[in-house]
């Protein structure tokens, strides 16, 4: 009987305690609501009553402490914190709140003494020290937080410890040099996360002086620790982002020597320079690899890409220097003669043939070279197909379209559902367009628009729209046929005849829908002749009179690039690019325009 009575009273006691605890929780919630509503008097009265219960302190502390600070009751706040610290001696948050109180009232001496005591108290516990630092950050006491992180780092023994935390602090302080050093510290301790650090740098180091500091820091570290490839990797990345390809090559060259590689890193930088059309840098780097590693496996590729770099340099400097073209053709031949037949040298012969055909007007020589590659048993199947396509183009130059279509069809049949097969179908469509067979051309193009690579699809869509837009209201197709014939003449390098035909189209058909397309071709011809301002003038005609048409953004973008790349007026180019983004924000060129703007500003780019 007594046992049951005892159990009954225990249960009653527990229930009463639970009810009291719930009541205290409800009171704490109400007090916090008063504080949030700005009813400070009601909130304070309830907080003062509730703080007597130790278990309620965690529920009211943040708002009660803020209220005391809001009312500037410094003594009351200090006494309150003394009480809660005694009640919760292990709670670092409350201890840091006391430091924040001294900081808030500007009592620097008391703050320094108190923080020193905390450092001494936890001098052997890096976790506690770093936790204090985190709480200091929450109060925006950044300098004090850095001191505690540094103390914790010394205990840890690794320079990379807490590097990300400290980098974030320096970033909030806008101390980019210190932030940069901490991110490098992090990378040193976590080389697998180097890509993460690069991404951070790319987003943060937007000013030239920030990038220069990173460069200087990395160079200094390389000098002190030349065997650590991490610094060279970061410096190469930085120079590539800044488009300083030769500077990146200097570091890559050192890496090759250090790692005893026959130019592997140098070849990587050369290819990046090549892909970004920095022909001078690509030529210099490939030349270095050829001169330094003439007996190693990188030599054939370096030779081939050296000539290709020179070729692209010559082709983009208008008007094209035919003597330079002839020298390039000789170099391609020398490469084949020196190394013998393999994929690299046979492709070099293909490039040589195209120079003979399209720049030197030596069609027989070009045909013989391409047939030689096609019949060579060492030529890969893809290369044979490419040579057949090029040979088909040469037959267009010689006025034998039936031979062209035969070759294009062979390649399409041999490479079904592949980029080469699609390219062959596109060339057949172009041939039909040249010869005025627009309906057959469109049937090819309609297929290519749906199932092909993006580049070929875009070309197919562009040609299909050209045909559709300019034949819809002209049942005879005569103007379209004249225009297509002008494009054929351009393809055949019969420039003067093409210019005369384009001029006649404009004279005979004023106001025709084909007018903007004529201006576009005239601009291309002027650019090819090295008449850069005249090329811009034709583009302006499109921009001003046809800003609603499909060529509007093409003309705007082309004008800006001519101003930048050929007229070398970077200030005017920047204005054009910014105006382009306002007028054509959804254009396919928008991403490239933004990239060029960043390059002109000197930002880091991908």
What distance in Å separates the CA atoms of residue 514 and residue 492, rounded to the nearest whole number? 21
Output the pLDDT for position 338.
Answer: 94
Which region, left, alpha or beta, applies to residue 261 given φ > 0 means left and ψ of -120 to 50 means alpha?
A: beta
Residue 604 has pLDDT above 90, yes or no: no
Output the pLDDT for position 16.
Answer: 42
Q: pLDDT grade, residue 171 (50/70/90)?
A: very high
Residue 449 has pLDDT above 60, yes or no: yes
Output the pLDDT for position 14.
Answer: 45
Q: pLDDT grade, residue 603 (50/70/90)?
A: confident
Q: pLDDT grade, residue 450 (50/70/90)?
A: confident
* Long-range CB pairs of 163-166, under 8 A, 24+ apart, other chains included: 163/189, 165/130, 165/133, 165/134, 165/137
What distance in Å separates the CA atoms of residue 334 and residue 326, rounded to the nearest whole number? 13
What distance in Å separates the CA atoms of residue 154 and residue 85, rounded to the nearest whole number? 27
266's CB contacts (< 8 A; 6+ apart) are: 249, 252, 253, 256, 285, 288, 289
**What is each CA distance from 59 to 15, 22, 54, 136, in whole angstroms?**
21, 12, 10, 21
What percent of the chain lies above the pLDDT cut of 90?
A: 77
308-335: b or e for each residue (b if 16 or more CB lie within 10 Å)? bbbbebbbeeeeeeeebbeebbebbeeb
What distance in Å separates the CA atoms of residue 43 and residue 26, rounded to the nearest whole number? 13
What is the pTM for the complete model shown?
0.81
Structure tokens at 433: 């367009």
How are the residues of the chain apportioned to helix, strand and coil, as percentages rounded to the nearest 5?
Answer: 80, 0, 20
Average pLDDT, stretch 341-349?
A: 94
101's CB contacts (< 8 A; 6+ apart) are: 69, 74, 77, 78, 81
Residue 83 has pLDDT above 60, yes or no: yes
What pLDDT, in 10s, does the model give residues 289-339? 999 999 899 999 999 999 999 999 999 999 999 999 999 999 999 999 999
Structure tokens at 326: 């002839």
What distance in Å separates the CA atoms of residue 30 and residue 267, rounded to the nearest whole number? 70
Output the pLDDT for position 289.
Answer: 97
Residue 451 has pLDDT above 80, yes or no: no
Output the pLDDT for position 34.
Answer: 78
202's CB contacts (< 8 A; 6+ apart) are: 241, 604, 606
- If one counts every other C-beta atom within 10 angstroms of the C-beta of residue 183, the result is 26
What distance in Å separates the CA atoms of residue 481 and residue 508, rounded to the nearest whole number? 14
Residue 488 has pLDDT above 60, yes or no: yes
Q: How many CA atoms lie within 13 A of 155 on its CB side?
A: 18
Q: pLDDT grade, residue 474 (50/70/90)?
A: low
Average pLDDT, stretch 397-414?
A: 96
Output the pLDDT for position 19.
Answer: 44
What pLDDT, in 10s, does the model give residues 101-156? 999 999 999 999 999 999 999 999 999 999 999 999 999 999 999 999 999 999 99
Domains and CATH numbers, the chain: 1-89 (no CATH), 106-436 (1.25.40.10), 478-601 (1.25.40.10)
What distance in Å separates the CA atoms of residue 79 and residue 74, rounded to the nearest whole number? 9
Helices 176-189 and 163-172: angle between axes, nearest 10 degrees: 170
258's CB contacts (< 8 A; 6+ apart) are: 226, 227, 229
In this structure, the chain runs to a length of 606
Average pLDDT, stretch 151-179?
A: 95
Largest CA distance in the chain: 122
Comparing 206 with 231, the larger pLDDT belongs to 231
Output the pLDDT for position 61.
Answer: 84
Output the pLDDT for position 3.
Answer: 57
Average pLDDT, stretch 35-41?
A: 84
User: Rounded mean pLDDT of the chain?
Assistant: 91
State the DSSP code for 89: T
Element (H, E) at 441: helix 438-450
Q: Are residues 387 and 370 in contact, defined by beta-carbon separation less than 8 angstroms? A: yes
Choice among 395-409, 543-557, 591-605 with the minimum mean pLDDT: 591-605
Output the pLDDT for position 51.
Answer: 82
Choice among 49-58, 80-89, 509-518 with the minimum mean pLDDT: 49-58
Residue 167 has pLDDT above 60, yes or no: yes
Residue 20 has pLDDT above 50, yes or no: no
Residue 4 has pLDDT above 70, yes or no: no
Residue 273 has pLDDT above 80, yes or no: yes
Which region, left, alpha or beta, applies to residue 158 given φ > 0 means left and ψ of -120 to 50 means alpha?
A: beta
Secondary structure (H, E, C), 514-571 = CHHHHHHHHHHHHHHCCCHHHHHHHHHHHHHHCCCCCCHHHHHHHHHHHHHHCCCCHH
State the DSSP code for 36: H
What pLDDT, in 10s, does the model give residues 494-503? 999 999 999 9
Q: pLDDT grade, residue 23 (50/70/90)?
A: low
């Amino acid at each position: 009987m007594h046992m049951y009575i005892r159990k009954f009273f225990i249960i009653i006691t527990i229930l009463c305690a639970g009810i009291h605890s719930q009541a205290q929780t409800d009171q704490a919630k109400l007090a916090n609501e008063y504080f949030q509503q700005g009813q400070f008097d009601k909130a304070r009265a309830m907080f003062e009553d509730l703080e007597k219960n130790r278990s309620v302190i965690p529920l009211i502390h943040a708002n009660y402490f803020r209220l005391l600070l809001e009312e500037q009751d410094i003594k009351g706040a200090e006494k309150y914190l003394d009480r809660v610290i005694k009640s919760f001696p292990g709670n670092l948050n409350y201890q840091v709140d006391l430091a924040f109180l001294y900081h808030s009232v500007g009592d620097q001496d008391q703050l320094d003494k108190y923080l020193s005591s905390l450092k001494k108290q936890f001098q052997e516990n890096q976790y506690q020290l770093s936790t204090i630092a985190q709480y200091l950050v929450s109060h925006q006491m950044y300098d004090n937080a850095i001191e505690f992180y540094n103390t914790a780092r010394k205990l840890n023994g690794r320079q990379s410890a807490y590097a990300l935390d400290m980098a974030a602090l320096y970033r909030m302080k806008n101390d980019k040099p210190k932030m940069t050093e901490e991110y490098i510290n992090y990378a040193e301790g976590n080389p697998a996360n180097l890509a993460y650090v690069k991404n951070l740098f790319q987003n943060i180091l937007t000013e030239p002086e920030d990038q220069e500091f990173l460069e200087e820091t990395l160079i200094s570290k390389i000098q002190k620790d030349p065997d650590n490839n991490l610094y060279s990797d970061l410096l190469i990345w930085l120079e590539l982002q800044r488009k300083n390809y030769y500077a990146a090559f200097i570091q890559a060259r050192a890496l090759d020597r250090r790692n005893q590689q026959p130019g592997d890193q140098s070849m990587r930088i050369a290819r990046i320079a090549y892909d970004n059309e920095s022909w001078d840098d690509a030529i210099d780097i490939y030349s270095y690899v050829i001169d330094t590693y003439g007996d190693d496996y990188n030599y054939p590729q370096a030779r081939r890409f050296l000539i290709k770099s020179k070729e692209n340099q010559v082709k983009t400097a208008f008007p094209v220097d035919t003597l330079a073209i002839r020298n390039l053709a000789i170099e391609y031949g020398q490469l084949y003669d020196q190394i013998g037949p393999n994929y690299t040298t046979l492709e070099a012969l293909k490039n040589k043939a195209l120079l003979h055909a399209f720049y030197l007007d030596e069609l027989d020589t070009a045909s013989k070279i391409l047939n030689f590659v096609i019949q060579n048993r060492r030529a890969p199947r893809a290369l044979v197909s490419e040579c057949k396509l090029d040979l088909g183009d040469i037959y267009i130059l010689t006025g034998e379209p039936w031979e062209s279509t035969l070759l294009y069809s062979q390649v399409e049949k041999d490479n079904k559902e592949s980029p080469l097969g699609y390219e062959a179908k596109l060339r057949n469509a172009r041939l039909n367009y040249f010869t005025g067979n627009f309906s057959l051309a469109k049937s090819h193009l309609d297929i290519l628009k749906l199932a092909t690579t993006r580049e070929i699809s875009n070309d197919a869509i562009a040609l299909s729209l050209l045909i559709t837009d300019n034949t819809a209201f002209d049942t005879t197709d005569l103007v379209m046929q004249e225009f297509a014939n002008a494009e054929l003449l351009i393809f055949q390098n019969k420039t003067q005849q093409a210019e005369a035909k384009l001029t006649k189209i404009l004279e005979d058909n004023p106001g025709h829908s084909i007018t903007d397309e004529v201006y576009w071709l005239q601009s291309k011809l002027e650019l090819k002749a090295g008449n850069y301002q005249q090329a811009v003038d034709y583009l302006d005609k499109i921009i001003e009179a046809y800003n609603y048409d499909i060529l509007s953004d093409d003309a705007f973008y082309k004008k800006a690039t001519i101003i930048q790349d050929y007229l070398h007026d970077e200030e005017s180019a920047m204005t054009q690019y910014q105006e382009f983004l306002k007028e054509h924000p959804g254009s396919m060129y928008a991403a490239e325009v933004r990239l060029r703007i960043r390059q002109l500003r000197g930002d880091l780019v991908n």
